Amino acid sequence: MRTVNLKTAEQVEIMREAGRINARAHAAMAEAIRPGVSTAELDAIAADVLRQHGATAAFLGYPPGSPHPFPATICASVNDELVHGIPSRERLLKDGDIISIDCGTVYRGFVGDSAWTYAVGTIKPAVQRLLDVTEEALWVGIRASRAGKLTSDVAKAVQQYVESHGYSVAREYTGHGVGSQMHEEPQVPNWWPRRAAAYGWRATPLTAGMTFALEPMVIAGRPDLRVADDHWTVVTRDGSLCAHFEHTIAVTDGEPLILTAL
């Protein structure tokens, strides 16, 4: 059975500082988002914030030994790009776009990981609704992340909320344990099929000291996805818009603790 690494109170505090640095990077990028800004400029802003705080980028060069390591500090995914978009000087944001930015910070050997989807200029009400539902799905999942529950309870809560609003959840990509490694146990999916074991998932009991990234990925159309030729960017097959919100949290004996908030 795969091991879940429970964190001590001291380790959770280090993760909380990593998360705060990550949140500061998000805040700096949010201020810069506007039509005409390139995704590479946002990447440079995040890298500068991490450097100023003595932290490093969790995503840059990930995974070690890969023939196609990720080449940037952030994932910048625009419109129909769900996750893992590679920043580019040529990718200029336009009025009405949405951009999902995922950023990971390593500080004193521990990781903080969070994502947010931002509006560029003025977006349509239907697009804002997609963002609102996805963000609320994150909070639904966080509220379900209490000691004594199961990862399947969290997954089902997110799935029920998202699908009740007429959207799809990404199936191949999940939330995950975070700690001294970027990806640890347990996996925390955003849906729970009848044959979860076929996906390699197990309903893991939530215990105080567990830390994981909860990250609803919501699609306006069908959940079918593909990976672009750059080996990283995940896009919707039908071209529909998608959004991604994520916090790293710690399970406690009471309310879940959000580690990636300012």
Q: CATH code at 161?
A: 3.90.230.10
Establish if 34 belongs to a structural domain.
yes
Tell me, what's the pLDDT at 36? 98
**pLDDT tens profile 67-82:** 999 999 999 999 999 9
Tokens for 174? 């999940």
Establish if 1 belongs to a structural domain.
no
Report, as ranges of residue numbers, the positions in the chain whose pLDDT lies below 70.
Answer: 1
80 Cβ neighbours under 8 A, 6+ residues apart? 235, 236, 239, 240, 241, 242
* Cα separation, 16 vs 249, whole angstroms: 9
6 Cβ neighbours under 8 A, 6+ residues apart? 207, 208, 209, 210
**pLDDT tens profile 172-182:** 999 999 999 99
Establish if 2 belongs to a structural domain.
no
> How many domains are contained in the chain?
1
Tokens for 188? 């925390």
Tell me, what's the pLDDT at 1? 52
Establish if 3 belongs to a structural domain.
no
Q: Label residue 107 left, alpha or beta by phi (over 0 means left) and psi (-120 to 50 means alpha).
A: beta
Helix 39-52 vs helix 9-32: angle between axes, to the nearest 10 degrees?
140
Tell me, what's the pLDDT at 199? 77
Establish if 54 belongs to a structural domain.
yes
The C-alpha torsion from 197 through 190 and 6 to 246, rounded to 10°, is 150
Establish if 103 belongs to a structural domain.
yes
Tell me, what's the pLDDT at 177? 98
Tell me, what's the pLDDT at 2? 75
Output the CA–CA distances (angstroms, integers) from residue 37 to 89, 103, 145, 175, in the order listed.
Answer: 9, 18, 37, 29
Establish if 4 belongs to a structural domain.
no
Tell the residue number behind the tokens 């818009």, with chain if given.
Answer: 241
- Nearest Cα to 87, choosing from 63, 65, 114, 59? 59
Domain of 144?
Answer: 9-258
Establish if 70 belongs to a structural domain.
yes
Tell the residue number behind the tokens 């390591």, with chain if given.
Answer: 69
Q: pTM of the predicted model, to two decimals?
A: 0.96
DSSP lists the bridge partners of residue 236 as 225
